[in-house]
Structure 1
Amino acid sequence: MPIRRPEPIAVRRNRRPKPKPETDALGFGRFFTDHMFMMDYEDSRGWHDPRIVPYGPIELDPAAKVLHYGQMTFEGMKAYRSPSGGIRLFRPDMNLKRLSRSNVRLGIPPIDEELVSEAIRRLVLLDRDWLPAAPGTSLYIRPFILAVEPLLGVSPSREYRLIMIMTPVGSYYEKGGDPVSIRIETEYVRAVRGGLGGAKTAGNYAASLKAQEEAASRGFAQVLWLDGVHRKYIEEVGSMNVFFRIGEKVVTPALSGSILDGVTRDSVLRLLNHWGIGTEERRIAIDEVAAACRNGTMAEAFGTGTAAVVSPIGELDWDGERLLVGNPGEAGPLTRRLYDELTGIQTGRAPDPFGWTVALDGSEEPAKPGRD
C-alpha cells in the first residue's frame, strides 16, 4: 500500500516523570526517558495514529508474528548537547534511509521518513532534560518496528507497530576510550551474502550472541567475524564496522551484502578522503591482517559505530595467537583524530563542512490530547 500522510502527532504527557540518573551511572541503555513514540500499521489503513505517550510496557498478543518469526527492524542514532546548550542530531536521514532498506529486506511496509523525522524532533524536544551535557555523553534514540499480527503462519504480517524509545548514555565500553581486545571468530557464522547481514534486524544480532558470550568469558570485548563462505575474509565486529591502517593506507571491508552499511563508517571514509588520507574498500583476508600485525606494518585498527563512535583496537586473538596492533596500550593518532573530529562535529564544537548535523531548536509545542 502506498504511504499515506497520517494525522498529526498527538502528545500525552507523562504525569509522573522519573528521576534523572547521575551522569557517572549512565552506562549504555540502562535508563529510559519519560516518553516514547508509537504508530500503527494495517494493510487496509496504512500507517496511522502517530502519538507520543508516557514510556511504559507494550501489549502484544501471544501469537504476534514478531514473537515467532522475528519479523522486525530497528535503528540507532544519537542526539548531542552543544556547548551553547542546543541539541543536535547527526545524519538522521541516513538512519531513516537504512531503516527503509531493512524494511524492504524483511518484507515490512515502507515508512514515511519525513513523519518519523518529525517524531524524532518532537520526542527529543519533549524529553530534552534527559540529554546529558558531560563530554562523551548523548541521548541514544532507538526506533523499531514489530510485526504484531496475531497469526501463526510463516508469511509477512499485515499489521505492524513502530515504537521509538530513548536512553541517556555514556561510553559503550566499560573501559571508555581505551583500546579493546577482539577475538576473531573461527567456529560460528553470523551472516552470508543474501542473508540478513546488511539489515538492522534482531536476527542479525541474535546470531552473534553465542560467540560474543564465549569471547566475553575469555576476556574479550567483542568478536570479529569472518565471511561465512570462505571463512577467511574480514567482515565486521559485533557492534561496529572495522578499519585497519596498514602502512599509510586505511582499509575496510567492502560492502558485500553481509555487513551493515554503517553511518559512522561512511562518515569516517568521507573524513579520511577530505583529509587526503588514502582509503580502500575491498576484501581483506585474515592472513593479511595477521601478517601486518606480525611484521609491524599494522599501525592502527579501530571500530566505528553509532554506539561507540570510534573505538581503538589494541589486540586481536586468532586461534590463541595474540596479534598486537600498534601500541596496544593506547589509541593510535589517526584513531584519536577521527574520534575528536567526529564528536566535535556531532556536538557543534568543531565545524561541520559536510552539513551532517541537524540543530533542533525551539520549545516543545503544547500537548495535544492523545490515546495510549
Structure 2
Amino acid sequence: MSKTQSLQFVRHPHPAPLAADKRAELLKNPGFGRVFSDHMATVRYSDSQGWHDARIEPRAPIPMDPAAAVLHYAQEIFEGLKAYRTEDGGATLFRPEENARRFQQSAERLAMPILPEKVFLDAVDQLVDIDRAWIPEGDGSLYIRPFMFANEIFLGVKPSSDYLFIVIASSVGAYFKTSAPAVSVWVSQDYTRAAPGGTGAAKCGGNYAASLLAQAEATRHGCDQVVFLDAVEKRWVEELGGMNVFFVFDDGSMVTPPLGGTILPGITRSSLITLAKDKGIPVREEPYSIQQWKADAASGRLREAFACGTAAVVTPIGTVRSPDGEFTIGNGGSGARTEELKATLVGIQRGRVADKYGWIHKVF
C-alpha cells in the first residue's frame, strides 16, 4: 500500500467551538456562503513527499507568503457539494465520487497533482462528521467547499512544487435571494466565459473571475444571472455564470448545450439527464442558439427553461434580456417539467425518494 493510500486524518478538535445557542441563531437564516463551521480539513503536497500531513483542525486563517505561486499565476481549483441532514440525525452527500473525479480532471488541466479519490472523500466525510451540528434543519444544507492551490514560494511561470488542499463548510439556505417564481437572465454579448482549448471544463477560480464583469452588467440591467454565448460565433448558448441550462419544449423533449471543453460538466446536469431519460423524457445534448431561444419562446414551442447546479439546484428562468430587448418564457414562472425533475432530484438528495442509482453517500 502506498503512503498516499494509507494517509490517515489526524483530528485536532476546536478547543472552543461556537456555543450551541449561538450556532442555532445563525442557522435560522444562514443565507449563502457567509456562515462557516468550526473546522477545516487540510492536506499538504510537495514533489518530494507527495500527499502528507492530513488534518482535521480548527478553521483559521492560512499563513501565506506574498510570493506564493497562486497569487501570481492562479493555479487554483475547487469543488462544491452539499451535506444533508437525515431524519435519524445522520448526514448524507450526493454523488461525492463525481466531485472527486471532476476535481482530478480540473487538476490535470491546470498542471496540478492528482488528489486520490479516497483522500478527497475522507476529507469531506471527516469534516461533515465533526461539524454535522452545522447542517441546518428543513430545506437548508451544509455546503462543502474543497479547494487546492499552488503554495510554492517562487516567482516563475511553471507548475508549483507545493500545494495545499483544504475543505471548509458553510451552512446555507437558498442560493437566489429573490421571491420571484423564476429568475431573469442577461445575455452577454461583449464577454465570453471560455474558448475552445481553454479552461471552461475545469472548475477553477479564473473562470469565475472572468464572469464577474458580465455578471455586474446583468445586475445593472435588473437580472439575477448572466448567460454566456460561445466565444467563436457568439451565437450558441453555453451556460450561466455558474450553472448549466436546460430547455423544455411543447413536445415534452428537452435540450441542453453539449459538453465540449467550454462548458463545465455539471453533476446536477448529469443527474437530471439520467432522471429525465428514466421518466421517458427525450433529452438531446445539442447546440441551441440565442436566436432560436427567442423564436421558440415567441412561438410557444419553448415552454420552460431552467438553470441547475449544486448551489442553485433547479431554478426556473422566466425572462431573458439583452441589448436587443427581452422576452418571456411560458408564463414567466416555473413549469410542470421543471418542478417534476426538481422534486425527484431533491427527494433523492434528502432521502424522501428511493435512490435506485446509488447516488447517496452516507457519512460514517
TM-score bin, normalised by smaller chain: over 0.9
Which residue of 2 is the match for residue 11 of structure 1? 11
Residue 49, structure 1, aligned to residue 74, structure 2: no
Which residue of 2 is the match for residue 226 of structure 1? 229
Residue 278, structure 1, aligned to residue 282, structure 2: yes
Tell me the amino acid that sits aligned with residue 140 of structure 1. Answer: Y
Which residue of 2 is the match for residue 315 of structure 1? 319
Tell me the amino acid that sits aligned with residue 121 of structure 2. Answer: S
Structure 1 residue 3, shift from structure 2 partner:
7.7
Tell me the amino acid that sits aligned with residue 15 of structure 1. Answer: P
Tell me the amino acid that sits aligned with residue 110 of structure 1. Answer: I
Q: Is the 8 A contact 1:251 1:281 kept in 2?
A: yes
Q: How is 1:317-336 mapped onto 2 (pairs within 5 angstroms)?
A: 317-328=321-332, 330-336=333-339
Q: Aligned pair in 2 of structure 1 residues 177, 114: CA closer, same or farther (>3 Å)?
A: farther
Q: How is 1:163-182 mapped onto 2 (pairs within 5 angstroms)?
A: 163-175=166-178, 178-182=181-185
Structure 1 residue 320, shift from structure 2 partner:
4.0
Which residue of 2 is the match for residue 253 of structure 1? 257
Structure 1 residue 25, shift from structure 2 partner:
2.1
Distance across 1 between alignment mates of 2:247 and 2:283: 10
DSSP 3-state at the match of 1:312: strand
Distance across 2 between alignment mates of 1:344 and 1:234: 29
Q: Aligned pair in 2 of structure 1 residues 177, 129: CA closer, same or farther (>3 Å)?
A: farther
Residue number among 129, 138, 142 corresponding to 1:139 in the alignment: 142
Structure 1 residue 322, shift from structure 2 partner:
1.3
Deviation readout 1:263-310 (Å, 9 max, x if unpaired): 000000000000000110011111111100111111000001000110
Q: Aligned pair in 2 of structure 1 residues 182, 188: CA closer, same or farther (>3 Å)?
A: same
Structure 1 residue 204, shift from structure 2 partner:
0.7
DSSP 3-state at the match of 1:322: strand
Distance across 2 between alignment mates of 1:312 and 1:118: 34
Identity %: 44
Q: Aligned pair in 2 of structure 1 residues 3, 212: CA closer, same or farther (>3 Å)?
A: farther
Give the TM-score normalised by structure 1: 0.94
Distance across 2 between alignment mates of 1:359 and 1:300: 34
DSSP 3-state at the match of 2:170: strand
Residue 240, structure 1, aligned to residue 243, structure 2: yes
> How well do the aligned residues superpose, as a CA RMSD in angstroms?
1.3
Q: Is the 8 A contact 1:253 1:283 kept in 2?
A: yes
Distance across 2 between alignment mates of 1:326 and 1:9: 51
Distance across 2 between alignment mates of 1:321 and 1:229: 23
Give the TM-score normalised by structure 2: 0.96
Deviation readout 1:89-137 (Å, 9 max, x if unpaired): 00000000000000000000111111221121111010010011212x1
Distance across 2 between alignment mates of 1:305 and 1:127: 24
Distance across 2 between alignment mates of 1:109 and 1:211: 32
Structure 1 residue 177, shift from structure 2 partner:
7.4
Deviation readout 1:68-109 (Å, 9 max, x if unpaired): 010011000000112333211000000000000000000001
Distance across 2 between alignment mates of 1:50 and 1:85: 27
Q: How is 1:151-230 mapped onto 2 (pairs within 5 angstroms)?
A: 151-175=154-178, 178-230=181-233
Residue 302, structure 1, aligned to residue 289, structure 2: no
Q: Which has the higher contact order (CA 8 A, sep 6+)?
A: 1
Structure 1 residue 199, shift from structure 2 partner:
0.3
Residue ranges of structure 2 left out of the alignment (5+ in a row): none
| More divergent stretch after superposition (174-183 vs 202-211) | 174-183
| More divergent stretch after superposition (84-93 vs 262-271) | 84-93
Deviation readout 1:22-59 (Å, 9 max, x if unpaired): 34421110011000000111101101000011001001
Tell me the amino acid that sits aligned with residue 155 of structure 1. Answer: K
Residue number among 89, 92, 101 corresponding to 1:88 in the alignment: 92
Distance across 2 between alignment mates of 1:177 and 1:198: 31
Distance across 2 between alignment mates of 1:124 and 1:139: 8
Tell me the amino acid that sits aligned with residue 201 of structure 2. Answer: G
